[in-house]
Amino acid sequence: SQTIHQWPATLVQPVGSPLSLECTVEGTSNPNLYWYRQAAGRGLQLLFYSVGIGQISSEVPQNLSASRPQDRQFILSSKKLLLSDSGFYLCAWSNVDGSPLHFGNGTRLTVT
């Protein structure tokens, strides 16, 4: 069966520090991969999605970047965090045929 792992679960970082959140999927090949952000009291905002290795689409101009170095690995990064980067970050995957989207457990990021 397919599983998705996302870490860390919580993270507190000072303004200006770098960020690296990692997500891996097991039990499937060539999945679509997504990074979402959920701010308090707001809906989920799609940040990045990837349909293959090295293929990244950005939905919102921002201080973040994403990379997909391997088929089932998706990384969210920032060189210098801003206070506004605080939020709940969720990684998700789906098969390329539009089957259900499955989420990881999320990372709670607090930028201080």
Where do contacts with another protein occur on this chain (CB under 8 A)? 6, 32, 42-44, 46, 49, 51, 57, 59, 88, 90, 92, 96-106, 108
**Of residues 22 and 102, the one with the C-beta less far from another protein:** 102
As measured in angstroms, the least distance from the Cβ of 39 to another protein is: 11
As measured in angstroms, the least distance from the Cβ of 11 to another protein is: 14
**Of residues 1 and 18, the one with the C-beta less far from another protein:** 1
As measured in angstroms, the least distance from the Cβ of 79 to another protein is: 26
Helix (H, G, I), strand (E, B) or coil at 83: helix
Q: Decide if 82 contacts 15 (C-beta within 8 A).
A: yes
Helix (H, G, I), strand (E, B) or coil at 61: coil
**Of residues 47 and 81, the one with the C-beta less far from another protein:** 47
Specify the pairing of strand 32-38 against strand 55-58. unpaired
As measured in angstroms, the least distance from the Cβ of 24 to another protein is: 14
CA 32 from centroid of its chain's CA atoms: 12
Helix (H, G, I), strand (E, B) or coil at 15: coil
Q: From CA 110, how far away is CA 112, in angstroms rounded?
A: 6
